[in-house]
Structure formats: C-alpha cells, structure tokens
C-alpha cells in the first residue's frame, strides 16, 4: 500500500474511488453506503461538504426533542442530537418530574472568556512589568482596534489585559492574559485574532524600545497565542429545589430517596472513579444540546472536566444539599457557547433548534444546556438509587436488537410484551426471534 499525495485536491468521487479501491477491494456496496447518505438537494449537500475537509458523506445522528422543560418560568422543548438510546427519554422524564415542583432555575455567574500569549523572556522582570503597564497595554488596544470595533458595537470587546509572571514554574515563562466579552458569539476567532495581534505588538514594541538590551530583546520568544477553553469566569448555574416531602413518587419514599440521592452525589464529589461516570451522564445531556445548537462540544467537554478537577482531584460537577427540609440540587458549569456565528446561521437544523428555543442569546442557551446536564444527572441518580438503570435501558436495547434483526412492527409489539418480565440479552432476543419466525 502506497501513501497518497494530493488527496485533498481530488474530487469527492475520486476520493471515494481511491479509498474503496485501496482499503475495500473496490466494493460497489461500500460506495453505495456512502452515497445513500448524500442529500438529493445539491446545494444543501455542498453546504455540508464545505463544513469540513475531505468530506465523503453525511453522518446521521438522531435529532430529537425533550419537551416540558420549565426554566425560569418559561416552557422549553429542548433539542438534542445524540445516538445513545434513553438519553432523551431520561431528560423528558426529569423535565416532567420538575415541571410540577417549580421547574429549573438558571443564572449566569460570569461572562468573561480568556486567552493567553505564552512567551519566554530571560531579561529583567521589573523592566518588562514596567514596559507592559506604561506602554504595551494601550498599544495592544490601539493595534486591535479594527478587530474589536464590531464586537464593541455589540457590547463586548477586550475587558482586561495583564502580564502574568510564571517564572516560578518555567524559567523565563510569562503570559499576556486577556479577558474578553464576546457577547453572543463563542468568540474563538475573535479572541485568537486579538491574541495574535498582541504577540506581534509585543515583538515590535520590544524591538523598537531603548529600555531593553540587545541580549534581552533576543531572548524574547513567542511560544503561542491561543484562547483557553477553560472559562471559570464564564459560568452558569442551574438548579432545582423543593421540600423533601415532595420528592416521593409511586413506590418511592421521599425522605429515604432524598438521603440516598445526596449520598450518591457525595460519593461522586470525592471518588474519581464514580465522578467520571457521574459526569459522563451529565455530559450526555450537555453535549446533546450543544451539538443540536451547532456549538463546539469538545470545548465544552474540556472546560467541564478541567473544572471538575480544579481542586486537584476529579469530582462531581453537580452538588446536593438538604437543609431545613428542603432538597436542593445544582450544577455550576463553565461553558462557552454561541448563538451567532459558526454553524448557527449556516446549518438548517441548528437554525431550527435555535428557533424552537425562541432564538436564545448565548447566556440563555448556557442556562438551557446546564439544565439539560442537571436533568440528565437527576434522572440517572434517581434510577441508580431506586430501580437501577438497566430497566430503562433495556427497552431501547431491545429495540436496537430488533432493528438489527429486521423485525416488523407486529413483532416489535410482541417482543415488548414478551420481555416485560424478562431480562433482555442479545442471545435471548435472537433465540425468541428465530423461534417465532420458524413458527411462521
């Protein structure tokens, strides 16, 4: 097998032919698999092709909705793009549970994003500090004026710029740390453009300054200029609360449930093995809404897990307390989202998702996403501490197996009843399937 040069320059058909010839013995069936997902509407297909490079086809994900979410007294149907069966069902269940208990509440705890120019300078520390305050800060602002103009018109821009001395960690390591308000955009391009300009300004200004010796000037090395995906000052809180006595439902004793639930959260707060799974469940809800609304779920994941380990050990993103007979359950999530720019106006399904949410601004969307995470965690812990999760999961598992077997609607109905009091396993489903098919 030979490496290929210029793959990206080939047409889509040529790329597919090369790939299938090289790895799949030219299988026409394999080409058909890719082609069956092409959109008939050529313009729509081109739009999707252009989102990325070397695009061969479209990758479908289920796009669903979890209704009945009461958030800050407003009723939402939350769009979710997720492949994992039972996530949307769990969200809907939690939404319904809290609908009659005051709903969810969200509040923004901060809306500052940040980024850094990481650089090395072996010269006099005091001189660079003085130069930074007396000369550079204003010059950074002047030199980025053309980049910040539009953002300032929308109410955002650069909030602060400071020099951070990191030489106790790495010899000669300094940062220009800047904070930004990017209003309703996620803001990555804006922040990175500003930072790259700061690094150029730093180089130019130091080269032209009389304050530094030639040796000091030569020691300056810009390592990189990039936003941070950890945004502890861009934070949202979502919470639910109600009297403990209102937590019970059929077959569940309210007080006992509240205590057990709180223990489950405490365990995730201190035990990283449990915290990983606990937070994974939260991200089931968070990512599904983030993807449906065209946002960057990798950035959101990075921020969430950094936050979860901020104390030096990895722990739960959610917290719970019972005080004076009241149950309170909440999440603080650092999360950078946009409702303008990026995919938000380009992808028709993303536009649809934002439309059904009533065209939220970035802060409102932060609240909705945090609520989806909290709801997911509530549903998971409620199942885990009462019936166990397999009960709910097994129905979806059963349907997935039946889909693989090509079951008819009538057979699906039969299996739903058949497995009502039995454990679903692949073997058990296939055996029963073969038995009833043989019987005719």
Q: Which is nearer to ligand MEV, 190 or 329 (CB)?
A: 329
Q: Half-sphere exposure (CA, 13 Å, Cβ side) for 130? A: 8
Cα gap 355→17, rounded to integer Å? 39
In whole angstroms, what is the distance from residue 299 CA to residue 231 CA?
10
Q: Which of 184, 269, 296, 364 is catalytic?
A: 296
Residue with smaller CB distance to ligand MEV, 342 or 373 = 373
Rg over CA atoms, the chain: 27
Q: Is 280 a catalytic residue?
A: yes
Q: Report the alpha-carbon distance of residue 235 to residue 108 in Å, rounded.
A: 6
Question: What token pair was written down for 55?
Answer: 């695009």
H-type helices in 134-229, by residue range?
137-143, 145-153, 188-208, 214-219
For the bound state, the minimum distance from the C-beta of residue 317 to ligand MEV, rounded and expressed in Å, comes to 11
Which are the contacts of 108, defined by CB distance < 8 A and separation ≥ 6?
235, 236, 363, 366, 367
Task: Give me the residues that bind ligand MEV (CB under 6 A), please.
Answer: 84, 277-278, 280-281, 284, 380, 384, 389
Backbone torsions φ then ψ of 162, nearest 5 degrees? -145, 160
Q: Is residue 111 among the annotated active site residues?
A: no
CA 15 vs CA 5, 28, 50: distances in Å: 12, 14, 15
Using the minimum distance from each CB to ligand MEV, give the nearer residue, 12 or 393.
393
| Residue 250: CB atoms within 10 Å | 4
Task: Characterize 259-284 residue by residue with b for buried, 16 or more Cβ atoms within 10 angstroms of its Cβ, and e for exposed.
Answer: ebbbebbeebbeeeebbeebbebbbb
Coil, strand or helix: which one is 108?
strand
Tokens 């205590």 — which residue? Answer: 259
The active-site residue, picked from 21, 50, 83, 84, is 84
Active site residue 347: no
* Token reading at 10: 């080939």
Q: How far is the CB of 281 from ligand MEV (least distance, A)?
A: 3
Query: Which tokens sit at 398?
Result: 């059963």
Name the active-site residue from 280, 359, 422, 426.
Answer: 280
Partners of 161 in beta bridges? 178
Give the nearer residue to ligand MEV in terms of CB position, either 118 or 382.
382
Q: Alpha helices, DSSP H only, in 24-159? A: 28-35, 42-49, 87-99, 125-131, 137-143, 145-153
Closest to ligand MEV by CB, 137 or 381: 381
Question: Any catalytic annotation for residue 393?
Answer: yes
One of 305, 393, 395, 432 is an active-site residue; which one? 393
CB closer to ligand MEV out of 176 and 424: 424
Residue 264 beta carbon to ligand MEV: minimum distance, rounded to whole angstroms: 8
Is the Cβ of residue 74 or residue 280 nearer to ligand MEV in the bound state?
Answer: 280
The residues annotated with a catalytic role in the active site are 84, 280, 296, 393
């Amino acid at each position: 097998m030979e490496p290929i040069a210029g793959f990206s320059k080939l047409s889509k058909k040529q790329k597919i032919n090369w790939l299938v010839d090289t790895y799949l013995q030219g299988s026409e069936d394999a080409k058909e698999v890719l082609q069956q997902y092409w959109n008939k509407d050529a313009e729509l297909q081109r739009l999707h092709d252009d989102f990325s490079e070397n695009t061969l086809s479209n990758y479908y994900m289920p796009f669903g909705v979890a209704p009945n979410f009461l958030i800050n007294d407003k009723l939402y149907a939350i769009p979710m793009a997720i492949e994992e069966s039972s996530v949307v069902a769990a969200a809907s269940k939690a939404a319904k549970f809290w609908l009659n208990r005051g709903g969810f509440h969200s509040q923004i705890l901060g809306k500052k994003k940040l980024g850094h120019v990481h650089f090395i300078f072996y010269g006099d520390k005091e001189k660079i500090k003085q130069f930074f305050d007396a000369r550079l800060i204003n010059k950074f602002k002047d030199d980025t004026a053309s980049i910040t103009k539009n953002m300032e018109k929308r109410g955002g821009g650069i909030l602060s710029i400071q020099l951070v001395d990191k030489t106790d960690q790495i010899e000669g390591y300094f940062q220009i740390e800047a904070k930004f308000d990017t209003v309703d955009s996620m803001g990555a391009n804006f922040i990175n453009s500003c930072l790259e300009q700061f690094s150029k300004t730093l180089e130019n200004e130091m080269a032209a300054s009389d304050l530094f010796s030639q040796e000091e000037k030569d020691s300056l090395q810009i390592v990189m200029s990039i936003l941070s995906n950890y945004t502890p000052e861009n934070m949202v809180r979502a919470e639910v609360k109600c009297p403990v006595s209102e937590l019970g439902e059929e077959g569940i004793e309210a007080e006992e449930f509240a205590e057990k639930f709180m223990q489950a959260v405490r365990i995730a707060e201190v035990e990283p093995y449990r915290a990983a799974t606990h937070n994974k469940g939260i991200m089931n809800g968070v990512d599904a809404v983030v993807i449906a609304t065209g946002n960057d779920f990798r950035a959101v994941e990075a921020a969430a897990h950094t936050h979860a380990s901020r104390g030096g050990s990895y722990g739960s993103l959610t917290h719970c307390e019972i005080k004076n007979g009241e149950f309170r359950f909440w999440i603080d999530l650092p999360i950078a989202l946009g409702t303008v720019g990026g995919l938000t106006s380009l992808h028709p399904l993303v536009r649809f998702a934002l439309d059904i949410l009533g065209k939220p601004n970035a802060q409102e969307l932060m609240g909705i996403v945090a609520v989806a995470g909290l709801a997911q965690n509530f549903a998971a812990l409620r199942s885990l501490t009462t019936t166990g999760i397999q009960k709910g999961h097994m129905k979806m598992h059963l349907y997935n197996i039946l889909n693989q077997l090509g079951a008819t609607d009538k057979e699906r109905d039969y299996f739903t009843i058949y497995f009502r009091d039995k454990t679903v396993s692949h073997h058990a489903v296939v055996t029963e399937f073969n038995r009833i098919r043989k019987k005719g």
